[in-house]
Structure 1
Amino acid sequence: MRNSSFLSIKNIVAIGIGSAVFLVLGRFGSIPTGIPNTNLEVAYAFLALMAIIYGPVSGFLIGFIGHALKDMLFYGTPWFSWVIASAVVGLIVGLSYKFVDLENFNKKEILKFNFFQILGNVISWLIIAPTLDILIYSEPSNKVFIQGAFASISNILTIAIIGTSLVLIYSKSLVKKGSLSKES
């Protein structure tokens, strides 16, 4: 699945399906919290899975399109500061596909995967989303940084638990190099 062409047919299909699944999970796999407009989102575990398989461009587009569609469908308009933040999570987790060996997804690889997802979530939800909320929507800074902190922590935990499990299951389905032999 790791293709040299970042917009191969497989990647385009993955972006379409990934965006649709992100939309559905964003709607039905979302647990409301006490923080306004901030939910515990299972969709980010799926985004991480798709990003590590298909790379940073696909991860970026799945996060961007999936979040934008979810917002348009359920809120009437996209909240672009968070749409961009979701895209950046997909982009940064997608960068890990060059460094994480999915065929040998052991403790070391799990740590590398989680390093990238933590980095992506911290940058996206503690820096990008709150800053853009203030610049684009003139939101109060104390509100958006609380929302960003909760989103960061909840997405880190969601990806660490569910996302790592999904990647582990996916990695076990891969055929190991050299495991097949030619019959004479």
Structure 2
Amino acid sequence: MKMKFGIKEVVATGIGTALFVALTEVQIPLGIIPNTALQPRAALLAFLAAVFGPVVGGIVGLLGHAIGDALFYGSVWWSWVFPDAVFGILVGLFAAKYAIKDGGFERKQIVLFNVVQVVANLAAWVIVAPVLDIVIYAEPANKVFAQGAWACLGNVIIIGILGTLIAAGYSKIGAKSSSLSKED
């Protein structure tokens, strides 16, 4: 896997982080477990990681979540910030295989993208977040594992629908007409 971090990745990181922060308050509560919701920012993170790779995914997940928490909630809940970074890294590890930049995001790549996002969500929200909640904040295990499972489910749904649609649309249209190019 080639780990390139050029001007496109810098721009994607900056714009992606700003959009992630802006989308912090856009959510549909799941209603059963407190502090869990369908969040479009999860689809944005999955898309950015799938297009630009693990470094962009990790940075956008970490900075976007931390800044969003600080701005909108007054404090940062680190046990939920780090899982977004983990998620972005895991999805980004397979960026080349999704072929989104090449305009080849077809059935096989869509299935791979969704299998990877499900596994990454399970790792981030069913393992990392609850364990960090217990270790950092001494939260009760039954509460945080329930929250993690519902957050995972919400993310899988929103990414499976919105994330897939964004990636497919970009692959068909945006990947072929990038406005960023190297000057002579």
Report if TM-score (shorter chain) is over 0.5.
yes
**1:115-154 alignment runs, 5 A limit:** 115-154=115-154
Q: Distance in 2 between matches of 1:64 and 1:80?
A: 9
User: Residues of 1 paired with 2:88 and 2:176: CA distance?
Assistant: 25
Alignment-mate amino acid for residue 137 of structure 2: Y
Q: In structure 2, what is the Cα distance between the partners aligned to 1:115 and 1:150?
A: 18
Query: TM-score normalised to the size of structure 1?
Result: 0.89
SS in 1 for 2:94: helix
Q: Which residue is 1:68 aligned to?
A: 66
Q: Distance in 2 between matches of 1:91 and 1:75?
A: 25
Give 1:13 deviation, angstroms.
1.6
The corresponding residue for 2:39 is: 41
Match among 15, 21, 24 for residue 22 of structure 2: 24
Match of 2:162 in 1: 162
Distance 1:9 1:105 in 2: 23
2:28 counterpart SS class:
strand
With normalisation by structure 2, the TM-score equals 0.89
The code of the aligned residue for 1:82 comes to W
Q: Which amino acid aligns with 1:175?
A: K
Letter in 2 for 1:104: G
Q: Percent same amino acid at aligned positions?
A: 47
Q: How far does the alpha carbon of each residue in 1:58-108 deviate from its partner, in whole angstroms, 9 at most, with x for none? A: 000001100001110111111001000011111111112122122221111
The runs of 4+ residues in structure 1 deviating greater than 3 Å are: none
1:58 aligned partner: 56
Counterparts of 1:12 and 1:94, CA distance in 2: 15
> How far 1:175 sits from its partner (Å)?
3.0
Give, as a single letter, the amino acid of the residue that structure 1 aligns with 2:112: K
Equivalent position SS for 1:104: coil
Write the distance in 2 (CA, Å) between the matches of 1:112 and 1:5.
Answer: 22
Pick closer, same or farther for the CA change 1:121–1:4 going to 2, 3 Å: closer
Q: Which runs of 5+ in 2 are unaligned?
A: 178-184
One-letter identity of the residue aligned with 2:29 = P
Structure 1 gap ranges (5+): 177-184
Query: Which of structures 1 and 2 has the larger relative contact order (alpha carbons within 8 angstroms, sep 6+)?
Result: 2
Asked if structure 1 preserves the Cα contact closer than 8 Å seen for 2:30 and 2:154, the reply is: no
